Amino acid sequence: MPLGTLDRTPPPFFRQGLPARTKLALFSALAIFLMAADGRVGLIKPLRAAAATALLPLERVLNVPVQAWGGGGDYLAGLQTALANENAMRARLAEQAERSARADQLAQENARLRALLELRPKVSVKTLAAEVLYEAPDPFSHKLFLDRGSQHGVVAGAPVINEAGVLGQVTRVYPFSAEVTLLVDKDAAIPVVNTRTQHRSAAFGNGDGSTMELRFVGGNDDVQAGDVLTTSGTDGVYPPGLPVAKVAAVDRRADSAFARISLTPTALPDGVRHVLVLEPLSAQLPARPEPPPEPETTRPRRGNRR
């Protein structure tokens, strides 16, 4: 076969077409044009939206195995967690049932003992919900102002609590607002009882806004860090059993007959928005009987001496 008749053209796979530099310049110019058009007039936005809409079914189909794999793992992990939580809740439910049965027995026994001793039933305390308006601007006092006053039934001396415990006591009442002195104020005091030893004492505010102090406690008294103090209910103001503070530290000084005991209040005033105003116990206690009148003493008249 003569050499002149051979086809010397390369196959289509090896055909280079335009030079590489020409292609680089052409595609660079096209990219710059598309970026400028998209940034200026949003030319590519409809094309991008159309492409996203067209590819959405394909993306969802391709994402099904990934979701199935991840969902299967989450399902198995969640199933194990749910079974563990169910077992824990069943155990707690059994424990709560046992405690409830004991509480019912104690309540019945308490009712029988009260009837046997002819004691009056426990006093029910009336409550009034209130919202904190603002804090007192005085930096040397720790007081709050509530949006409830005498027109709503608030009286001076009423205890103020929240979900954590006792906050303070109403000291001034206005028609539509009330002033509350917090337990951490330097002029605040509250009678408390140690829930562990049942020892009664008085807690006072330090005035620093965050701590309290247990005063007039002997250096050899049984007080330990972590003891919980609640209201004693013997002052006729606070109902018994309300959380007040927890013992933070006990300093038994040799040069003093009393121990220095610092307390951490259970109800901190920071961030409080809603409170409950309680009716003082003195409003529900029977009135004190008036003392009987003293008998008049008749003195014998002295006769006129002649």
pLDDT in tens, 128-151: 999 999 888 777 788 999 999 999
Query: In this structure, are residues 168 and 182 in contact, taking their beta carbons and an 8 Å threshold?
Result: yes
**Confidence class of residue 306 from pLDDT cuts 50, 70 and 90?**
very low
What does the domain layout of the chain look like in residue ranges? 21-118, 127-283
Quick one: what percent of the chain has pLDDT higher than 90? 31
| pTM of the full structure | 0.56
- The yes-or-no verdict on residue 42 having pLDDT over 80 is no
Could you identify the residue written with the tokens 């206690």? 285
Q: Round to whole Å and give the CA distance between 29 and 35.
A: 10
- Write out the H or E segment, with its range, that includes residue 84: helix 44-117
Which residues 6+ apart lie within 8 Å of 249 measured at CB? 225, 261, 262
What is the model's pLDDT at position 233? Answer: 84
Mean pLDDT of the chain: 82
pLDDT in tens, 71-101: 777 777 888 888 888 888 888 888 888 788 8
What is the model's pLDDT at position 129? Answer: 92
CB atoms within 10 A of CB 160: 26
The C-alpha angle with vertex 125 and arms to 119 and 130, in degrees rounded to 5, equals 170
CATH superfamily membership of 127-283: Rod shape-determining protein MreC, domain 1 (2.40.10.340)
pLDDT in tens, 241-292: 899 999 999 998 877 888 899 999 999 888 888 999 998 887 766 666 666 7
CB atoms within 10 A of CB 233: 16
- Chain-centroid distance of CA 27 in Å reads 63
